[in-house]
Structure 1
Amino acid sequence: MIRILLVAPVPLRFDLTQDQSFLQLPFAKTKAFMMPLHIATIAGLTPERFHVEIWDEAVRGPANEKPDFATFDIVGCTGFTAHLSRAAEVAAAARKLGILTVVGGPGISSGPQNYYNDFDVLFIGEAELTWPQFLEDFENNNYQKSYRQVAALDLSKTVPPKWDTIKGDVNSYLVGAVQTSRGCPFDCEFCDVSYLFGDRFRFKPQETVLQEVANMEAMGVRRVVFSDDNFYGNPRYTRELLVKLKELNDSFDEPLAFASEATINFAKHDKTLELLADANFAEIFIGIESPNMDSLVETKAIKNVNSDLVADIRKIQSYGISIRGSLIVGFDHDDKSIFDQQFEFVQQAHLAVPSIRVLMAPPGTALWKRVRDEGRLLKGDSHGRYYGNPGTTNILPKQMTRIELHQGYLDMIDVVYSWENFAFRLKSFISTVKRKPNVPKLKYPWARMAQFVYFMLFSLDAKPRAIVWDIVKHTMRCAPFMLPRVTRIIMRQYGYADRPKLKLAIQDQIDRELSGDFVPEISDVNLLISDEFKKKYAELFVTLYAIVHEKILNLNDFEFVLISVFRSLSVDKGGELSDITEGDTDKIIELTHKAVEESNSEYRKKYGNEAKEKGELSLSRRLMGDQILRALEQELSIEKLRVGNGGLVQVEAEPVKILSA
Structure 2
Amino acid sequence: MRILLVYPQYPDTFWSYKHALRFISKKAAVPPLGLITVSAMLPESWEKKLVDMNVSPLLNDDIIWADYVFISAMYIQKESVGKVINECVRNKKKLIAGGPLFTQEFDNYPQISHFILNEAEITLPPFLNDLESGYPERIYKTEKYADMMVSPVPDFKLLLKKDYASMNIQISRGCPYACDFCEITSLLGHKVRMKKTEQVLKELDALYLQNWRGPVSIVDDNFIGNKKEIKNNLIPAMKEWMEKYNYPFTFNTQTSVNMADDEELMAMMAEAGFNSTFIGIETPVEESLKSCNKAQNRNRNLLHSVKKIQNAGFQVSGGFIVGFDSDLPSVFQRQIDFIQNSGIVSAMVGLLNAPKNTRLYKQMEAENRLTNEATGSNTDSSMNFIPKMNRKELLDGYQKILKNIYSTKPYYKRIRQFFLNYKRQKIKRKKIDLSYLNGF
Label 1:249 to 1:17 Cα distance change in 2 as closer, same or farther (>3 A): closer
Label 1:451 to 1:323 Cα distance change in 2 as closer, same or farther (>3 A): closer
Contact 1:336 / 1:400 at 8 angstroms: preserved in 2?
A: no
Corresponding residue for residue 314 of structure 1: 307
Matches within 5 A, 1:642-661: none
Partner-residue secondary structure (3-state), 1:58 = coil
What's the CA shift for 1:388?
7.0
Partner-residue secondary structure (3-state), 1:48 = coil
Residue 404 (str. 1) matches residue 393 (str. 2): yes
Contact 1:392 / 1:406 at 8 angstroms: preserved in 2?
A: no
Residue 423 (str. 1) matches residue 412 (str. 2): yes
Label 1:386 to 1:149 Cα distance change in 2 as closer, same or farther (>3 A): closer
Corresponding residue for residue 18 of structure 2: 20
Amino acid at match of 1:421: P
Distance of 1:386 and 1:186 partners within structure 2: 21
Distance of 1:267 and 1:389 partners within structure 2: 27
Q: What is the aligned counterpart of 1:225 among 207, 217, 223? A: 217
Partner-residue secondary structure (3-state), 1:34 = coil
Label 1:287 to 1:388 Cα distance change in 2 as closer, same or farther (>3 A): closer
Amino acid at match of 2:229: Y
Corresponding residue for residue 176 of structure 2: 185
Q: Deviations over 1:123-169 (max 9, x none)?
A: 22111121122122223332222110221111111111112222xx1
Partner-residue secondary structure (3-state), 2:154 = coil
Residue 439 (str. 1) matches residue 427 (str. 2): yes
Distance of 1:388 and 1:70 partners within structure 2: 37
Matches within 5 A, 1:53-92: 53-61=49-57, 63=58, 65-92=59-86
Contact 1:46 / 1:52 at 8 angstroms: preserved in 2?
A: no
Corresponding residue for residue 110 of structure 1: 104
Contact 2:6 / 2:53 at 8 angstroms: preserved in 1?
A: yes
What's the CA shift for 1:66?
4.6
Label 1:6 to 1:386 Cα distance change in 2 as closer, same or farther (>3 A): closer
Residue 151 (str. 1) matches residue 144 (str. 2): yes
What's the CA shift for 1:307?
2.6
Label 1:66 to 1:30 Cα distance change in 2 as closer, same or farther (>3 A): farther
Distance of 1:419 and 1:320 partners within structure 2: 25
Amino acid at match of 1:132: P
Matches within 5 A, 1:619-634: none
Residue 395 (str. 1) matches residue 400 (str. 2): no
Q: Deviations over 1:488-528 (max 9, x none)?
A: xxxxxxxxxxxxxxxxxxxxxxxxxxxxxxxxxxxxxxxxx
Matches within 5 A, 1:511-530: none
Residue 37 (str. 1) matches residue 33 (str. 2): yes
Partner-residue secondary structure (3-state), 2:120 = coil
Distance of 1:388 and 1:358 partners within structure 2: 6
Amino acid at match of 1:287: G
Amino acid at match of 1:419: T
What's the CA shift for 1:15?
5.2
Distance of 1:195 and 1:282 partners within structure 2: 30
Distance of 1:327 and 1:293 partners within structure 2: 13
Matches within 5 A, 1:263-412: 263-380=256-373, 385=375, 387=377, 389-401=379-391, 403-412=392-401
Corresponding residue for residue 229 of structure 2: 237
Distance of 2:259 and 2:439 partners within structure 1: 35
Aligned residues: 438
Label 1:242 to 1:431 Cα distance change in 2 as closer, same or farther (>3 A): same
Q: Deviations over 1:434-492 (max 9, x none)?
A: 4x4241143x34x64x853x544xxxxxxxxxxxxxxxxxxxxxxxxxxxxxxxxxxxx
What's the CA shift for 1:421?
1.3
TM-score by length of 1: 0.64
Contact 2:249 / 2:273 at 8 angstroms: preserved in 1?
A: yes
Q: What is the aligned counterpart of 1:175 among 144, 166, 170? A: 166
Residue 9 (str. 1) matches residue 2 (str. 2): no
Residue identity (%): 27
TM-score by length of 2: 0.94
Larger radius of gyration between Structure 1 and Structure 2: 1
Q: What is the aligned counterpart of 2:117 among 124, 129, 137? A: 124
Contact 2:117 / 2:123 at 8 angstroms: preserved in 1?
A: no
Q: Deviations over 1:571-629 (max 9, x none)?
A: xxxxxxxxxxxxxxxxxxxxxxxxxxxxxxxxxxxxxxxxxxxxxxxxxxxxxxxxxxx
What's the CA shift for 1:52?
2.1
Q: Deviations over 1:509-550 (max 9, x none)?
A: xxxxxxxxxxxxxxxxxxxxxxxxxxxxxxxxxxxxxxxxxx
Distance of 2:39 and 2:20 partners within structure 1: 30
Residue 93 (str. 1) matches residue 92 (str. 2): no
Structure 1 runs not aligned, ≥5 long: 457-661
Q: What is the aligned counterpart of 1:49 among 42, 45, 51? A: 45
Matches within 5 A, 1:574-589: none
Label 1:127 to 1:38 Cα distance change in 2 as closer, same or farther (>3 A): same
Amino acid at match of 2:216: V
Partner-residue secondary structure (3-state), 1:149 = coil
Distance of 1:231 and 1:124 partners within structure 2: 24
Contact 1:17 / 1:389 at 8 angstroms: preserved in 2?
A: no
Distance of 2:320 and 2:227 partners within structure 1: 24
What's the CA shift for 1:406?
2.4
Structure 2 runs not aligned, ≥5 long: none
Q: What is the aligned counterpart of 2:189 among 198, 216, 221? A: 198
Partner-residue secondary structure (3-state), 2:121 = coil
What's the CA shift for 1:8?
0.9
What's the CA shift for 1:227?
0.7
Distance of 2:167 and 2:367 partners within structure 1: 42
Corresponding residue for residue 155 of structure 2: 162
Q: Deviations over 1:548-569 (max 9, x none)?
A: xxxxxxxxxxxxxxxxxxxxxx
Partner-residue secondary structure (3-state), 1:128 = helix
Label 1:451 to 1:10 Cα distance change in 2 as closer, same or farther (>3 A): closer
Partner-residue secondary structure (3-state), 2:220 = coil
Partner-residue secondary structure (3-state), 1:367 = helix
Label 1:254 to 1:269 Cα distance change in 2 as closer, same or farther (>3 A): closer
Contact 1:6 / 1:77 at 8 angstroms: preserved in 2?
A: yes
Distance of 2:84 and 2:213 partners within structure 1: 29
Corresponding residue for residue 483 of structure 1: none
What's the CA shift for 1:224?
0.2
Label 1:418 to 1:81 Cα distance change in 2 as closer, same or farther (>3 A): same
Distance of 2:110 and 2:317 partners within structure 1: 39
Label 1:391 to 1:455 Cα distance change in 2 as closer, same or farther (>3 A): same
